[in-house]
Structure 1
Amino acid sequence: MGKLTSPRTIKDLMARYGFHFSKRLGQNFIIDESVLERIIKGAEIGSEDEILEIGPGIGVMTEALCEHAKRVVAIEIDTSLMPILNETVGHFDNLSIINQDVLKVDLPALIEDAFEGRRPKLVANLPYYVTTPIIMTFLEQRIPISDLVVMIQKEVADRILASPSSPDYGALSVVVQYFTEPSIVTRVSKGSFMPAPKVDSTVIRLKVRETPPVALLDEIIFFNTIRDAFGKRRKTLQNALSSGRLGLTKIEAGEALVEAGIPVNTRGEALDIHAFANLANAVARQKGK
């Protein structure tokens, strides 16, 4: 068998196993070996690291992970890929493959069982259609992992990494930056995949914070403040906060903004995470939290 990054090898496997790419599952396999090298380096994967991989496909990245890490547990939703994975990476004794939908798995139980309480690194070439749900599931549910190193659509990465007052800045930016320290590992062109997607990709590393960067009186109010602020981007914060999840009147929203030292005509995209924390804490005090 040739290299798994070779289009010829992939076509041969597909022909022998009757496999067809699924648009529904967003299947795009890496065919650029340098991309794998950059991911391994950017994720700082060493011989003592344990890895949770999502969407191994035919095992292109799985093979590289198994060669560098102590242990790899891969979750693959597509049953038709199981015999291919058995051929391509089944010989690794540090690999376990689970044929399930990651969004339906009891992730805390799986990690406790597979990694015996240790926190693995999540490494994944994520299908574009489930990128945000998967990332937010791990963060909001506080699944015990140390890092998320994920290949995602360039536009989503730009939103995660965006700064205040930039066009890409939004609720996703603030929430992800609350839970993690995000950084770019590498940019990846559409030609690095088979089949080639319509857009370029970015590999980002989200290093899970030990403690949040801001002190909050009520985390739920903080998240709702962010979502209300960006729910109607053209509205000022006073109007946005008085017509959303927080249930504030316009007067209450104005009072919270004044207490937080924010002009009432400010829009959400102007606030950084610390300003959002001050505003959310002002709202929490109003509600007696």
Structure 2
Amino acid sequence: MKIANRQRTKDILQKHNIKLKKSLGQNFLTDNNILDKIVAEANLSSEDSVIEVGPGIGALTERMSEAAKEVVAVELDNRLIPVLNEIFEEQDNVSIIHGDALEVDFDSLIDGDYKVVANLPYYITTPIIMRFLEESSGAKEIVVMVQKEVGERMVASPGGKDYGILSIAVQYYTEAEIAFGVPSSVFIPRPKVDSAIVSLKVLDYPRAKVEDEDFFFKVVKSAFHQRRKTVRNSLSKAPFLSVPRDIIDQALEEVEIDPRRRAEKISVEKFIELSNAIYRIY
């Protein structure tokens, strides 16, 4: 019987006397159809190496091991390591790593390029994704399950309430889309919110050249610091961007952004132009 079955999941947890921790975001998937759709979305083949974050008791790990060349699963909860080792002791293409995904050097786990496929713990979704995008050279495609609301923010276009810093950061590095939704009813225990599978195709190069990447993200963070204010006021008053107002005004005029516009209406490309202009003038 597959792990992704409500009774099998309960039996494994009971056998090892494991009580799930809400603090670790432990919600285990029990629907094999969803797993099949995840593997199909990631387009896994016998040529692919995969990193999985937060395997739990291995439902997704098991399914991916049938399709991929190798799966390296990084699990924080030390109680689950012997469970995973027992389940996959005869699977030569599965490696279980006990570690913190916020600290592990992912590129050292696999030689060459890899895909990231995971049911991410909700409480650290954003920092984990940003680690792969900012610090990894090997991650070429990321297919992850996230809270539906977070997925909508990742793929949001300018002009709506969902568009913000996360949207810009993700879309600066990737082509992002929501592949499909996942109802809360297919998890043990059942979370309070629905989920979504997000597909991020990592670009060979960021969307456009920035003069200074750290400065670019400071500009974006500053612009959204007081979301209801105009971009001119936000950039002028943000505590982490010490740029005189006359330079802000000059840069906005140069890149043809109305200073009365709010940050949520400015595209990723325009933010890049604005950041570059401020950087050059300043």
TM-score category (smaller protein): over 0.9
- Cα deviation code 1:237-263 (max 9, x no counterpart): 111111222211222211111111111
> For the Cα contact (< 8 Å) 2:165–2:221, is it kept in 1?
yes
Query: How far is the alpha carbon of 1:143 from its aligned partner?
Result: 4.1
- Counterpart position of 1:159: 153
Listed as ranges, the gaps of 5+ residues in structure 1 are none
2: distance between equivalents of 1:137 and 1:143?
A: 11
Letter in 1 for 2:185: G
Q: CA deviation at 1:142?
A: 3.4
- 1:1-289 to structure 2, matched below 5 A, reads 2-108=1-107, 110-111=108-109, 115-116=110-111, 118-244=112-238, 245-287=240-282
Q: Decide whether the 8 Å contact of 2:85 with 2:96 is kept in 1.
A: no
Does the CA-based 8 Å contact 1:38-1:185 persist in structure 2? no
Opposite residue 138 of structure 2, the aligned amino acid is P
CA distance in 1, matches of 2:78, 2:137: 25
Compute the displacement of 1:106 (Å).
2.6
How many Å apart are 1:186 and its aligned residue? 1.7
TM-score by length of 1: 0.94
Cα offset, 1:31, TM superposition = 0.6
The residue type paired with residue 258 of structure 1 is E
* 1:50 aligned partner, one-letter code: S
TM-superposed CA distance for 1:85, in Å, is: 1.2
The separation in 2 between residues aligned to 1:14 and 1:211, in whole angstroms, is 43
Instruction: Give TM-score scaled by structure 2 length.
Output: 0.96
- Which ranges in structure 2 are unaligned for 5 or more consecutive residues? none
Higher deviation after alignment, 175-184 or 156-165: 175-184
* One-letter amino acid matched to 1:49: D
**Seq. identity, %:** 43
Maintained 8 Å contact 2:54/2:73: yes
CA distance in 2, matches of 1:65, 1:210: 25
State the number of aligned residues.
281
Task: For residue 79 of structure 2, give the secondary structure of its aligned residue in structure 1.
Answer: helix
Q: State the alpha-carbon separation in 2 of the partners of residues 277 and 105 from structure 1.
A: 30
Decide whether the 8 Å contact of 1:121 with 1:145 is kept in 2.
yes
**Deviation digits for residues 32-74 of structure 1 (CA, Å, limit 9, x no counterpart):** 1111010000001011100011111111000001000001111
Alpha carbons 1:62, 1:89 under 8 Å: kept: no
Per-residue Cα deviation, 1:211-265 (whole angstroms, up to 9, x for no partner): 1221222222211111111111011111111122221122221111111111111
Residues 165 and 224 of structure 2 are in contact (CA less than 8 Å); yes or no, is this contact kept in structure 1? yes
Once residues 148 and 85 of structure 1 are traced to their aligned partners in structure 2, the CA distance between those partners, rounded to angstroms, is 23
Q: Which runs of 4+ in 1 moved over 3 A?
A: none
Q: Match for 2:280: what amino acid?
A: R
Q: Say whether the 8 Å CA contact 1:107–1:143 is kept in structure 2.
A: no
The answer on whether the counterparts of 2:5 and 2:30 sit within 8 Å (CA) in structure 1 is yes
Q: Which shows bigger deviation, 272-281 or 141-150?
A: 141-150
C-alpha contact 1:76 1:101 (8 A) present in aligned 2: yes
Does structure 2 conserve the Cα–Cα contact (< 8 Å) formed by 1:75 and 1:102? yes
Deviations 1:185-232 (A, max 9, x none): 221000011111000000111111001221222222211111111111
**CA displacement, residues 152-208 of structure 1 (integer Å, 9 cap, x when unaligned):** 000000000000001100011011100111122221000011111000000111111
**Contact 2:81–2:98 (CA<8 Å) still a contact in 1?**
yes
Cα RMSD for the two superposed structures:
1.2
Residue range with higher mean Cα deviation, 238-247 or 58-67: 238-247
Q: Is 2:143–2:199's contact at 8 Å kept on the other side of the alignment? A: yes
